[in-house]
Structures are given as C-alpha cells and as structure tokens.
Amino acid sequence: MQHYDIAIIGAGLAGSLAAMALARDGHRVALVGPKPVIADGRTTALMDQSIDYLKGLGLWDDVEPLTAPLVAIRIIDGTTRLLRAPPVNFRAAEVGLEAFGYNIPNAPFLEILEKHEASLTTLERITAPAMTFDFGDGEVRIGLEDGRTISADLVVGADGRRSAVREAAGIETFSWSYPQTAVVLNFGHELSHQEVSTEFHTESGPFTQVPLPGNRSSLVWVQRPRDAEETLKLPTDVLSRRIEDRMQSILGKVTAEGTPQSFPLSGMIARRFGKGRAALVGEAAHAFPPIGAQGLNLSLRDVMTLVELVGRPTGERLAADVGDRFDGRRRVDIVSRTASVDLLNRSLLSDFLPIQALRAVGLQFLSSAGPLRGLLMREGIHPGSAMRSLKESLREKIGRQRA
C-alpha cells in the first residue's frame, strides 16, 4: 500500500493548486480525482494577492498570456426601482496597483496546472475516484475505484459541494438556495473594454462583464431560473442583442460566442473546515454566488493557510490535529466573506423599500467618500488590511495629538 504525506481529493483548480504548493515544499502528495468530463466555460478573476501566489509557484509566465488585467471595476444600478444608486467606480491606481487582478479562463488554466503537476517528482496524479475513507489514529486509508488502497497522514477535501471527504469526516453543512441561475458565456464586442469590469445590479441579480484579452469579455448573467432557461434557447443573434441592450451598448455591438452554460445558485458553508486528519478547501468548505470575485480567491487563501500550517517536511508524520488547527485559522475569513456575499445578493433581490434605500445610500456614500472606498478596495484585495490600515491611522493620529 502506497503511503503519502498528504492526499488531496479533487483535481479542480483549488485541489490542483494545493497539490502543487505542497509538493513544491517537498511533501509526498497524491492528487486524486478524474479529469472533468465537460470543459469549464467559466473564467476566474484572481486578485493581486492570488496573482502573487501564482508567481511564487512559478505558474505566472504560462498563465499571463491567457489573462486580461482588471484596472477598474464599475458598478451600475441597472434596476428600474424608485430608489437607484449612482454609479461607483473602483480604480486600482487609487490603492497604488496597476491592476486589481486578472481574469483567467478556467479550462486552459487547468491545462497549465496539469502540465506543471507532471514535472513535480513528489506529486503523483491518480485519476481513479476515491470511494472510501477510513480515518485512523495514525493515518487515513483511502479506497480507490480501481481496487487500490492508499494511505496518508492528512486528507484534503477539494472535492466540491458534495464532498465525500467532508461526509466521511462527519462534518455537517449549512446550505441555502437562491431563486437564481447564472448564465455564463464569452462574447466579442465592437469597442474596447479598456480593462474595466462592469457589474450591472438588476432585480434578478448581477450582470457582470469581465475583460478578456482583445475586444472580448466573459459574462456572468444572474437571472430567475425560468428566464435563464429562455436565455439558453435564444439564437446567437438574438442573445447577442439582449446582452448589448442589457449593457446599455457601452461596448458597442456584441457577438456571443460558443454555447452558454448555466449554474443554479446556492450557498453552503461547512460547520467545520477541518477535523483531525481532514481539512476542507474550496467548495468543499464554502460556496456562494459569483459576486465580487471572491470564490477562488477565498479558496486560494485556504491553500495558503494549509501550506503555512503544514510547513516543510521534517521526517516526522504530520500531527493528528492539523484539521482542527486549520479550522481555527480559516473560520473568521470564510464566515465573514460568505455572510457579506449573501447579504449583497439578497439586497439585490429584496423588494422591501427600506432595504433598497439602505443599499442606494451605501453606494452613494462609497461613490463620494474616497478614503472609505480605498479601505474597501484594500480589504477586497488583502483581507484584514483595511482594519490594520485603520488601526495604524488611529495610532498615528493619537501620536500626533500627544506630541
């Protein structure tokens, strides 16, 4: 029976990045899971902190040609409600950055990860699905579909919302659903996006355009389920016109590309993010609507924390409480991000006039209050930085007063 320091279950973006990071540190890693049957047509906007991590893993030179920078993010109230918010613009230059992050197509990104995985001698790729998990005092035994059994000091669940690792570890979840479906596609356009992402807030949810290289963009269009079904059936020319109209023609004539995909929206958070010899990353731990580019960025912070917690190999077995310590380290970040995305999404759906008023006033305040907007941008890029910046500012102010 082959033994590994760490077995990662789930070979999507989060699992693959975790496997690479841990293997590069010298751990013997098994990355377990079949290749996706259907290519993922979505894109992922990775923020500045996540891009720095890709650079540290030696991936950026291969990934960068696929990407488009996000130099600004614009929010437009696209509702027809009585109380509408003014447009809000967030510019990376306001916080001293060339770009907030970069938008990356998922499918070619995963292909690049697979190529780099093959070059790591301490990483073994196992395409047979994991079927059973036996958590013992000294190790975890994993039964594979092909009849083999492997063992590991630590098992990392990166196997999505229906995580088998999470279930085997006895970790419960809290789940909820939204009356929404996300339609995802790429499109070409007549005018340059100027590396600006525009998010229209509508009564059914956000309609978000994110730049791709050239005069192309990706789109996440959140709609009511019945409307999404109709959108998927539209001929390409009619769909293109609908997108252009929804975008108020700010990018000129639009041409939809390929076949749109749809994803029902729901939320989930694990009651624990680790337990004993199990740790959960990515959507095995948390899942929420595609708002504010939080999904994979939050998952990468899971990976960063796990790599830091495990440390480099010492020749000794990994401790039996890694999962418990990981849970403590990730709780505040995951819970706060999940709650903020859920609150924003529900505020868009609410027909309750006071909630609409609060949302409109909040966006008006952000539009006019430069320092607050800067704090919010820093917090989105580097979680915890806004509070640190505020504390430092207060200390400096108190110091000047005492002097």
Measured CA to CA, the distance from residue 71 to residue 198 in angstroms comes to 11
What range does the domain containing 45 cover?
Answer: 2-61+104-175+267-346
What CATH code is carried by the domain that includes residue 215? 3.30.9.10
Q: Which two tokens stand for residue 379?
A: 């917090």
Tens place of pLDDT per residue across the chain (403 aa): 899 999 999 999 999 999 999 999 999 999 999 987 767 778 888 988 899 999 999 999 999 999 999 999 888 886 665 556 677 788 888 878 889 899 999 999 999 999 999 999 999 999 999 999 999 989 999 999 999 999 999 999 999 999 999 999 999 999 998 899 999 999 999 999 999 999 888 888 889 999 999 999 999 999 999 999 999 999 999 999 999 999 999 999 999 998 999 999 889 999 999 999 999 999 999 988 776 566 789 999 999 999 999 999 998 999 999 999 999 999 999 998 888 787 777 665 544 344 444 444 455 544 554 454 455 555 555 665 544 544 454 455 455 555 5
Q: How far is CA 232 from CA 168, 185, 226, 228, in A?
A: 37, 10, 10, 6
222 and 316 co-located in one domain: no
77 and 128 co-located in one domain: no
Q: How far is CA 358 from CA 55, 84, 259, 307, in A?
A: 40, 10, 38, 40
374 and 261 co-located in one domain: no
Total structural domains in the chain?
3
Q: Which residue, 299, 263, 36, is CA-closest to 156?
A: 299
Q: State whether residue 120 is helix, strand or coil.
A: coil
Q: How many CB atoms lie within 10 A of CB 188?
A: 16
For residues 52 and 338, the answer to whether their CB atoms sit within 8 Å is no
339 and 213 co-located in one domain: no
